[in-house]
Structure 1
Amino acid sequence: MEDTIEKLCRQYTDLNDEEIKVIQMMAKTLQPLANMEAANMFIDCRCKEGDAIVVAEAKPEEAPSAYKSSVVGMLAKAENEPAVARTFNLGIATKFMQARTQEDNYTIQSVEPILFNSRIIGVLIREKCITEPVEEQRESKKYQAVEVPIYHMVNENEWLTEGIDEGLILVDTDGRVCFRNMYAKTLFHKLGYVSDILWQPYRNICLTKWDETSENLETLKEVRYGNYYLWIRQIPLKNKNGIILAVIFRDITGPREQERNLILKSVAMKELNHRVKNNLQMVASLLRLQARRVGSVAAKRALEESIDRILSIAVSYEFLSHCEGETVSLKKVLGSIKNNTVQSLARPELKVDIRLKGDDMMVDSDVAVSAALAVNELLHNSMKYAFEGKDHGNISITLKKGTVYSEILVTDDGVGFQPEHTRKDSLGLNIVKMMVEDKLHGKLRIRSGAQGTSVSIDFIRETADFIEVSE
């Protein structure tokens, strides 16, 4: 047994040599305790990750055991064994709480902390099977008949405390719960307390630390208890009408779970966007390898254009993978499209200055991808055809927000062209039209002449949220 304890403690806990020896010494007492109590006895130690692990056990020799097999080396989850979690968190004993075993059975647990040099190094656990419905443990009549004025006052006006969406506990001068409303009773039952908490010592059921000997100021804490998140407010009353403490608490598990789910969803979306970006870049790399192998100039050009289009889509997912929410800055996306265009289509005989200006827009992935692909095509067309016979040119990308429609304006000072004479099977222009009309639900306007070309993309504001960005 000692070797097993040492191995488990070294592998899963942060206990030092001296602390491990204390656990080994405590383990030697488990069998006599199990026989004397006619119950299963365990020692759990806290893992580095937060859960507890069973390092030693003993079954009663003349009484039924709660377990068929050994559970040494198994984890004790906080949601299944709240008494263990409470004792580790508060450093105090926990009595008669319901637990769910590793074999999916129910037991009643009592837990005592194992202290060494003022540190909790483990817990001693006593467990008994629930073979019959557990009757509530009630105190003697002297407690139920106790003359506490405020207790009677609250009970006479019980409807007031039942109408609030919070738990209320009152603690008397003996340190016992002299009142609890139905919210409190129900919640403690969900937390695993088998008996009604009324007339129980508050020290045995408190969910956050409390020093009854001091006159502490009011405290407000948020605690996690197994799968539950609780907001707890403790108000010392300095023996007013026989009451020394009022405790108000609320179950905030729902809102905290929603926050947690949103965080998990955000992380999942980031990972998904990152993988999409990586896959698109992989496809672009494969096409680039293919382009190097083909002999046809036309085929090589077509592959290179496809690569640029794929990378323009990847840019949007690259930004989405780094964003906190599900939207991305359109200005940053188009900035990357601009830089990629300069790198891929730069020619030594032609110097083109591309500028990006205007308002920023936070848009979702669909808007970002569609706008990026459309602007990518427009920039490629300008770089390839607008400056024939010139050694210098200018292209501007302007973002404008409007009340109903927002606009992306791409202009150049090139030689211009006649839009009505453009081939109907032009892939680049067809991509732009499809992105604007089908994806952005917008309008495409093209103006061109000897002074250059202007392409306006209008899309409805409701597809995006806007933020002001100072230039």
Structure 2
Amino acid sequence: MDRIEELCRQYTDLSDDEIMNIRMMSNMLQPLANLEDADVFIDSPCRNGDAIVLAEAKPSGVPSSYQGSVVGMLAKRENEPAVARTLSLGISTKHMKALTQESNHVIQSVEPIIRGERTIGVLISERRVDEQYLASRRLHLSKNSFEKMADVLTNIENNNAWLTECIEEGLLLINKERTVIFRNSVAKDLYKNLGYVEDVLGQIYDNICLVVPEYQNERSKDSSVETTIGKHTLCIRHVKLDREELELAVVIRDMTWIREQEKELILKSVVVKEMHHRVKNNLQTVASLLRIQSRHCDNELTRLVLGETMERILAISATHQLLAQNGVDQVNIKEVLQTICNNTLRYNASPGFDIDLTIEGDDFEVDSDVSTSVALIVNELLQNSLKYAFTKKSSGKVKVIVTYGVLYSEISIVDDGIGFNVNSIRRESLGLNIVKSLVKDRLNGSIEIKSSKDGTFVSFQFLNQIMESASVT
């Protein structure tokens, strides 16, 4: 097994016939290198999207751009956009800048190697970056071409061509001969960043086309395709024109920053989910330790305090559990309340007691700070209701009512219990102090408590989003 076959079988999915085709073409590389005074290579696509160098030849008449052999090395998409373009589109790519495996800058021209309908590799010609070479390759237009271009550009100027410099997209205009007769500065800079050495103005569009347009049907005049070239993500729109001198307008929008931001948001979402998941697990571990301690405690008052503390921790944990599921810093208020209600019933409902606990009203999103505070407040209020409101009763009803407001929203807990004297509430009551402190200091809201023999009504208002106070210097 020779080197080409070995590399093909290790890195590519080429068939035996396709490998044979590559081997036959490799025999012609040295004469081509000498004829072109250029380094010549054959690359084939790898399974991971890059390309592998299968064969090479260095020119005998001029210095090579390479000190050693690069056979068996990868050609990265971001370093060799001409290779990536030709492998992707199956068309030629001329005079594009590339970065070699030895970190040298070269000019590449690439031709596809096609077998059947498949591009099995590319033939690459590389020259060192040389100003004399670049000057000799510049486009020379005939007088007739200049006249046509002048007519079109004059027409554009008369229609406020300066507007094309005010848009974020690159713009190309293609004439009937498939030549680029206009480009704005955004398009010029974009192609330069992609590695094209020469100005695209005056070039044949087929040689610089970044993506094959995909029209829906023969009558369709508009095609929009998103593609990735090297490190750039581009949305390329082709629009057929009904003008005598123009065939096509190409609008290129650089979507790289937008796609990178989307990736960062996804990554941050994963990190946030993991963070809330770990906090939830840690809080549940603490709650479990308190539960174990409570079971081994002989003092009834101590057991009661441990149980209340455990429920407060679980109330905080409930918010983090929802945040871990969503991966964002927003949760639905009803989801939080439903979790708190379920936990409260689990740990406070007496055997044989029939309690009807419902949630009514609006549903909306709140951030993690609001949801955590609301969870603790509702947990305290529901605990008090279930423990004290239905003494000597076999059943009862508790409603949690949510009312959304533009700035302030409101949550009310209403029960049909025996009621109590509001003025007789102990000031040292830990539960009430927690509720009042959270409403005032954390939620920037207010609380109202009413009670009679027909039941108890507790309502608190809160800002939908907690604003951090800005420091003044």
TM range (shorter): 0.7 to 0.9
How far residue 201 of structure 1 moved from its aligned partner, in angstroms, is 1.9
Aligned to 1:127: 126
Aligned to 1:105: 104
| Distance (Å, rounded) in 1 between the aligned partners of 2:319 and 2:63 | 64
| Distance (Å, rounded) in 1 between the aligned partners of 2:345 and 2:63 | 79
How far residue 356 of structure 1 moved from its aligned partner, in angstroms, is 0.9
CA deviations over 1:69-106 (Å, ceiling 9, x no partner): 66566554433322122112211111111123344432
TM-score by length of 1: 0.83
After the TM superposition, which segments of 4 or more aligned residues of structure 1 sit over 6 Å from their partners? Answer: none
Aligned to 2:438: 435
Aligned to 2:364: 361
CA deviations over 1:305-353 (Å, ceiling 9, x no partner): 3332222222222323343754221012101111121122232132222
Cα 1:391/1:32, change in 2 over 3 Å: farther
After superposition, residues 304-319 of structure 1 pair within 5 angstroms as 304-319=307-322
Q: Which ranges in structure 1 are unaligned for 5 or more consecutive residues?
A: 465-471
Aligned to 2:7: 5
Alignment partner of 2:359: what SS?
strand
Counterpart contact for 1:134–1:194, Cα < 8 Å: no
Counterpart contact for 2:370–2:465, Cα < 8 Å: no
How far residue 292 of structure 1 moved from its aligned partner, in angstroms, is 4.8
Cα 1:282/1:54, change in 2 over 3 Å: farther
Counterpart contact for 1:171–1:244, Cα < 8 Å: yes
Alignment partner of 1:146: what SS?
helix
| Distance (Å, rounded) in 2 between the aligned partners of 1:44 and 1:363 | 55
Q: Does 1:240 align with 2:244?
A: yes
| Distance (Å, rounded) in 2 between the aligned partners of 1:307 and 1:64 | 78
Cα 1:408/1:235, change in 2 over 3 Å: closer
Aligned to 1:345: 348
Aligned to 1:227: 231
Counterpart contact for 2:38–2:59, Cα < 8 Å: no
How far residue 420 of structure 1 moved from its aligned partner, in angstroms, is 4.1
Name whichever of 327-336 and 17-26 sits farther off. Answer: 17-26
Alignment partner of 2:10: what SS?
helix
Name whichever of 424-433 and 143-152 sits farther off. Answer: 143-152
Aligned to 1:391: 394
How far residue 389 of structure 1 moved from its aligned partner, in angstroms, is 2.6
| Distance (Å, rounded) in 2 between the aligned partners of 1:402 and 1:244 | 56
Aligned to 2:470: none
How far residue 438 of structure 1 moved from its aligned partner, in angstroms, is 1.5
Name whichever of 153-162 and 452-461 sits farther off. Answer: 153-162
Aligned to 2:115: 116
After superposition, residues 63-212 of structure 1 pair within 5 angstroms as 64-67=63-66, 75-130=74-129, 135-136=134-135, 138=137, 141=140, 143-147=141-145, 150-156=148-154, 159=157, 160-164=160-164, 165=167, 166-209=169-212
Aligned to 1:413: 416
Cα 1:75/1:258, change in 2 over 3 Å: same
TM-score by length of 2: 0.82
How far residue 220 of structure 1 moved from its aligned partner, in angstroms, is 2.4
| Distance (Å, rounded) in 1 between the aligned partners of 2:444 and 2:240 | 63
Report the AA paired with residue 87 of structure 2.
F
Aligned to 2:471: none
Report the AA paired with residue 163 of structure 1.
L
Alignment partner of 1:240: what SS?
coil
Cα 1:326/1:47, change in 2 over 3 Å: farther
| Distance (Å, rounded) in 1 between the aligned partners of 2:136 and 2:372 | 65
How far residue 302 of structure 1 moved from its aligned partner, in angstroms, is 3.5
* CA RMSD, Structure 1 to Structure 2 (Å): 3.5
Q: Which ranges in structure 2 are unaligned for 5 or more consecutive residues?
A: 468-473
